[in-house]
Amino acid sequence: MFQGYHGVLPEEKTLGQKFVIDMDAWVDLREAGKTDNLNDSISYVDLYNIVKEVVEGPGHDLLESVAHVIATKTLKKFSRISTVRVKLMKPHVSVPGPLDCLGIEIFRFQKVDV
């Protein structure tokens, strides 16, 4: 969970809120499975750092924009990743009714989006 300042409401931009991110990256990991060597894989720490930098960085109005930046930065940094999925959720959203969270989910592709 990260603290960020994303949203269209003034309170979201000044007070901020928590964001939950779920991310998957599609990459051929056969060599890493054979060698047991991190150099043949993608470090989770590197992916985490991209998410942290974007979510805790400058604010965006739309969750779609936050997720898009996470996805494109990931694809640009790791050309071996063919596809990335980013799910971004607001657990405490300002809507008139009870729910656990609201969010968006996007897919971006190395061959199309980079």
Judge whether 83 and 110 are in contact, CB under 8 Å.
yes
Distance CA 83, CA 37 (A): 22
Nearest to 62 by CA among 106, 100, 22: 106
Q: Catalytic site residue 111? A: no
Distance CA 74, CA 44 (A): 11
Residue from 18, 34, 90, 111 carrying the catalytic annotation: 90
What is residue 38's DSSP assignment?
G
Distance CA 29, CA 26 (A): 9
Q: In angstroms, how far is CA 2 from the centroid of its own chain? A: 11
Catalytic site positions: 90
